[in-house]
């Protein structure tokens, strides 16, 4: 049996955060023609990604929200298929701590985007590489998307609502540790389990207004959950690899959540603050 990672949260709380996101779905997809609810990732691709992140002398990982599109000239290295166009997505960028500024600086030589269930590494500094990352992030931050989400949040929460642009995770909960309960330890173990891992679901969610450990700091803001689906679905678990605010898990211990930006200062060092 695999050790639950330090970042496991209660399934009931996860379901409530997913349900809260469905209120936002109506803003992202008013015609009901697209599914913005989750992203499916091949588990071996996800494990390779974790391996690269945890072996790179990084202090953390930043997840940016974006909207997929292809380059107008068809020059993207990794063009997305028609079924993935104009969808909410996530771009992962590892970070290194800058002692002089106190910020977590993006390593844009190792950006990761999800294409046809595979996490693909993109060196955004390489010569001739189309600026896919910036285009996806800026499309999310347009008036049509982030502007609409902000207006919706103002209506639900009150004026002054700030929608999430990115989430920063500390490396401590992701990398292997002596207790064998880092996220990468857990994923590796699931591959060896008699009920093997067959899919990683990156689930869009939102903090609830009430009875959520983060409701006071981030009500209604976008967040992410990670669901590890095993072959027979016996061990259904929703995970967050998180590292900022404390919440209680089923054993009465504490776990942490990623740091949403804004309002948190985890934006410092971001290439796209």
Name the residue among 105, 104, 71 with its Cα closest to residue 85. 71
Number of domains in the chain: 1
| Residue 201 covered by a domain | yes
Judge whether 116 lies within some domain.
Answer: yes
Residue 64 lies in a domain: yes
* pLDDT for residue 75 is more than 60: no
Q: Is the dihedral of CA 258, 263, 266, 269 positive or negative?
A: positive
Return the top range by mean pLDDT from 34-43, 163-172, 173-182: 163-172
Is residue 208 in some structural domain? Answer: yes
Residue identified by tokens 């104009």 is 86
Average model confidence (pLDDT) across the chain = 82
Binned at pLDDT 50, 70 and 90, residue 246 comes out as very low
Number of residues in the chain: 273
- Tell me the average pLDDT across 233-243: 50
Say whether pLDDT at 249 is over 70.
no
Is 272 a member of any domain?
no
Would you say residue 2 lies in a domain? no
Going by pLDDT thresholds of 50, 70 and 90, the confidence category of residue 158 is: confident
Tell me whether residue 86 is in a domain.
yes
Does some domain include residue 128?
A: yes
Query: pLDDT-based confidence at 242, cuts 50/70/90?
Result: very low
CA-derived radius of gyration, the chain: 18
Domain housing 61:
11-267
118-138 per-position pLDDT tens digit: 999 999 888 777 788 999 999
Query: Higher pLDDT residue, 73 or 59?
Result: 59
């Amino acid at each position: 049996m695999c050790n639950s990672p330090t970042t496991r949260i209660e399934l009931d709380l996860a379901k409530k955060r997913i349900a809260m996101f469905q209120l936002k779905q109506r803003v992202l997809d008013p015609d009901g023609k697209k599914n913005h609810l989750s992203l499916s990732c091949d588990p071996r691709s996800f494990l390779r990604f974790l391996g690269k992140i945890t072996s790179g002398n990084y202090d953390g990982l930043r997840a940016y929200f974006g909207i997929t599109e292809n380059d107008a000239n068809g020059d993207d290295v990794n063009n997305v298929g028609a079924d993935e166009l104009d969808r909410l997505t996530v771009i992962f960028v590892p970070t290194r701590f800058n002692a002089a500024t106190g910020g977590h600086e993006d390593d844009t030589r190792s950006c990761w985007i999800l294409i046809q269930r595979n996490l693909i590494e993109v060196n955004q500094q390489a010569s001739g590489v189309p600026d896919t990352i910036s285009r996806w992030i800026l499309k999310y931050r347009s008036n049509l998307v982030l502007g609409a989400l902000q207006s919706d949040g103002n209506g639900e929460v009150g004026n002054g609502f700030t929608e999430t642009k990115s989430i920063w995770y500390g490396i401590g909960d992701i990398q292997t540790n002596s207790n064998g309960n880092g996220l990468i330890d857990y994923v590796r173990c699931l591959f060896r389990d008699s009920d093997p891992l067959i899919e990683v679901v990156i689930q869009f969610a939102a903090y609830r207004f009430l009875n959520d450990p983060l409701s006071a700091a981030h009500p209604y803001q976008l967040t992410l959950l990670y669901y590890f689906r095993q072959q027979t679905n016996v061990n259904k678990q929703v995970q967050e690899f998180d590292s900022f605010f404390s919440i209680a898990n089923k054993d009465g211990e504490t776990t942490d959540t990623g740091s949403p930006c804004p309002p948190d200062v985890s934006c410092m060092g971001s290439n796209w603050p």
